[in-house]
Amino acid sequence: MTTQVQELLINGVHTPCVDTGHAGATAVLLMHGNPGSRADWSLLTETLAPQHRVIAPDMPGFGRAAKPADFDYTVAGYARHIEALLADRGVTRVHLVLHDFGGPWGLAWAAANPTRVASITLINVGIARDYRWHFFARLWRTPLLGELVMATTTRAGFRFSLRFGNPRGLPPDFVDGMYANFDRGTRRAVLRLYRATSAFGDAADHIVNALRPQDLECLVLWGKQDIYVPWRFAEQQREAFPRAQIRYLDDSGHWPHQDNPDVVNQAIRDFLEPLAAADHGDTA
């Protein structure tokens, strides 16, 4: 079994995508956030591929994906891209694994397609009523100031900012990879995305109304040192997922799948393992 990167064209947008593991119409979709890429999930992909089909794309504006000026850099625009990607891959049922802005993107898709969701794993993201934007988001959302911040963000400054809220430390190659992808196109995408999103909490009622009746299997993993999306929001996930399993990682920050990958990847593997047998009954 080998991991292959498919160089896809989704609605005219170049979208590199890992598609590996078992064949079938059910897949685990790994959705990165800002400023992530499919590389965020390399270790988890290796962990899950023996039992599941695993799909991990670079979403438009991030990683090595195209970063066109005319893409719809809104939550709804990204949800539509997810749908087009799944159609291209022949996937009809999805285990969602969501992090950061991948949360709003994936939950928007799920709310529009509730019967196609096999399970949801939320990593430091989800329903967040009364959420207040973090410091950098407030800068990015401010016209002119956001452009200035982006233009003056250096590799050293990028590394320095990630020291806060990550007491375990993030792998240097992960940080360097994020910065390498943080080019002009991604910086423009981030500004447009944050300015088009009023708040994470605005969609809460819609998500709850769409997904709670499905009584979905849900795993919530939350690093308690997160300075961007505080752990107090974890319990809110029970509004949409009453049987949610919630696990806190006391000394992890916003990227627990990077600063504590062994624990996080094993937790996700254990969560999905009982569901694998049903998945293998699906054929593409």
Confidence of residue 284 (pLDDT cuts 50, 70, 90): very low
- pLDDT score of 3 more than 80: no
Specify if 284 maps to a domain.
no
Q: What is the CA radius of gyration of the chain?
A: 17
Specify if 213 maps to a domain.
yes
Helix (H) or strand (E) holding 269: helix 261-279
- What pLDDT, in 10s, does the model give residues 173-219? 999 999 999 999 999 999 999 999 987 778 999 999 999 999 999 99
- What pLDDT, in 10s, does the model give residues 140-153? 999 999 999 999 99
Q: Can you give the pLDDT at residue 33? A: 97
- pLDDT score of 275 more than 50: yes
Specify if 120 maps to a domain.
yes
Instruction: Supply the pTM of this predicted model.
Output: 0.96
Q: Can you give the pLDDT at residue 198? A: 85
Q: Which two tokens stand for residue 11?
A: 């609605």
Specify if 111 maps to a domain.
yes
With the CA atoms of 112, 117, 123 and 127 taken in that order, what torsion angle do they form, in degrees rounded to the nearest 10?
A: 40
Q: Summarize the confidence of residues 39-52 as an average pLDDT.
A: 97
Question: Side chain identity at 213, as an amino acid letter?
Answer: P
Q: Summarize the confidence of residues 152-175 as an average pLDDT.
A: 96
- Let me know the angle formed at the C-alpha of 13 by 200 and 29, rounded to the nearest 5 degrees: 55
Q: How many domains does the chain have?
A: 1
Specify if 117 maps to a domain.
yes
Specify if 246 maps to a domain.
yes
- Within 8 A by CB and 6+ apart from 202, the residues are none
Cβ atoms of 211 and 122 within 8 Å: the answer is no
* DSSP strand pairing (13-21 vs 26-31): unpaired
Confidence of residue 281 (pLDDT cuts 50, 70, 90): low
Measured CA to CA, the distance from residue 23 to residue 28 in angstroms comes to 12
For 61, the domain range is 5-279
Specify if 100 maps to a domain.
yes
- Tell me the CATH number at 197: 3.40.50.1820
Cβ atoms of 17 and 41 within 8 Å: the answer is no
Average pLDDT, the chain: 95
Can you tell me whether residue 124 is helix, strand or coil? coil
Measured CA to CA, the distance from residue 234 to residue 71 in angstroms comes to 31
Q: Which two tokens stand for residue 269?
A: 């593997």
* Of 113, 138, 8, nearest in space to 65 by CA: 8
